[in-house]
Amino acid sequence: MVIKPMIRSNVCINAHPIGCAKETERQIQYVKAQKSKRGIKSLQEGGDGPKNVLVLGCSTGYGLASRISAAFEYGSSTVGVSFEHEPTEKKAGTPGWYNNAKFDKEAKAEGLKSETINGDAFSDEVRAQVIEIAKKWGVKFDLVIYSLASPVRKDPDTQVLYKSVLKPVGKEYSGSALDMMTGKIDYKTIQPAEGDDEANTIKVMGGEDWERWISQLKNADVLSQGCRTIAYSYIGPKLSHAIYRDGTIGGAKKDLEKRAHSIDQALKELGGAAYVSENKGLVTRSSAVIPVISLYLGVLFKIMKARGTHEGCIEQMERLFAERLFTGENASAGTVAVDSENRIRIDDWELDPTVQAEVDKIMPNVTQENVQETTDLEGLRHDFLLINGFDVPGVDYEKDITDFYAIE
């Protein structure tokens, strides 16, 4: 079968096995190059970086990039958790299944210990599996990455299924949305949250599950002295706050940040710490349908690429590890620079006042006629397709795929 991207309502619903694997390999090679450039020694070379790392939400985006950075720059043993659909004889699996398979294959080739759990990271059953692996290996985690994003979560105590929504709070929100594939600009309106929308979104995307993870890992004695845990969030520019930061998803992110303080206190007796890292805005599966966000990213990417400061997931996470987390002697855990809310700001290049001033100048003047010149439409389209293994350099997309389990 020749696999071409299938796009429905601005969402790509299929994946290319070889493309996903090739993009994961590219990220691994980037990290290896940065390791050499920075002169970082892995654990196997006598370095003192993270030894045993747990990544919750390891299959795509920032979670995958974090796991790659830990393993291939610092030589960490890693356990990853994500929920993916496996391929069948007639159908490809989800992108994350191939990303995980490629990661495990490359880790094994490098002699790195890794194990990937395909299951519901919100469940106590999966938490028990992770604890079992740590005890089987005879290790304790010194870094726990929380990078889960899901539209639904089942409460492990009550078994009630909660659903998250992306809506404004208080009043409807309208704005221009850029279709990343067609370049068409539409004016969209999203109705405000109602009923239990806010509470349910916090239940799914807030910090309750993160706190439960750390509590159970700590009680099982599988967290090391000095263990750090980091969750990922996004603030974004003021122009997007009404739909994002001050909306339902933003409320969940604020809950995440609030719970970071209580988790931090819980880790104090281990000499550890908890942080939220505020990351850069990137193309995701939902970006194309959120008013303003997709258009903003198009303008932002063009500006940052011209400045040489644009980053994707792997560039962000490699910089987070090397310039924020492991800055001590011999790549050991150093003092972490944080803002007044104890947040790591790796979104510093995006929210640079001079960058945002350029964005504010260009955004009101983008029209259907000049969208190609004023935005990085080609870059947006590439990133959108890349998530599912398409538009990857070096991949023959005319090649017949006969084995949906195979990766290169």
- Residue positions annotated with a catalytic role: 244
Rounded distance between C-alpha atoms, residue 205 and residue 151, angstroms: 8
Q: CA separation (Å) from 15 to 169, 224, 283?
A: 34, 38, 16
Token pair of 397, please?
Answer: 């997309």
Token pair of 24, please?
Answer: 């994961």
Q: What's the CA angle centered on 206, arms 222 and 142, to 5 degrees? A: 20
Token pair of 16, please?
Answer: 């290319």
CB atoms within 10 A of CB 45: 12
What lies within 8 Å, CB to CB, of 2 at 6+ separation is 397, 398, 399, 400, 401
Token pair of 267, please?
Answer: 């880790």
Rounded distance between C-alpha atoms, residue 202 and residue 223, angstroms: 26
Question: Quick check: 82 and 58 in contact, CB under 8 A?
Answer: yes
What lies within 8 Å, CB to CB, of 7 at 6+ separation is 13, 181
Rounded distance between C-alpha atoms, residue 154 and residue 161, angstroms: 4
Rounded distance between C-alpha atoms, residue 88 and residue 359, angstroms: 45
Q: CA separation (Å) from 46 to 40, 49, 330?
A: 10, 9, 8
What lies within 8 Å, CB to CB, of 294 at 6+ separation is 177, 178, 179, 180, 287, 288, 380
Extract long-range pairs of 182-191: CB within 8 Å, 24+ residues apart: 183/371, 183/372, 183/377, 184/368, 185/295, 185/366, 185/367, 185/368, 185/371, 187/291, 188/289, 188/291, 189/291, 190/166, 190/243, 190/291, 191/167
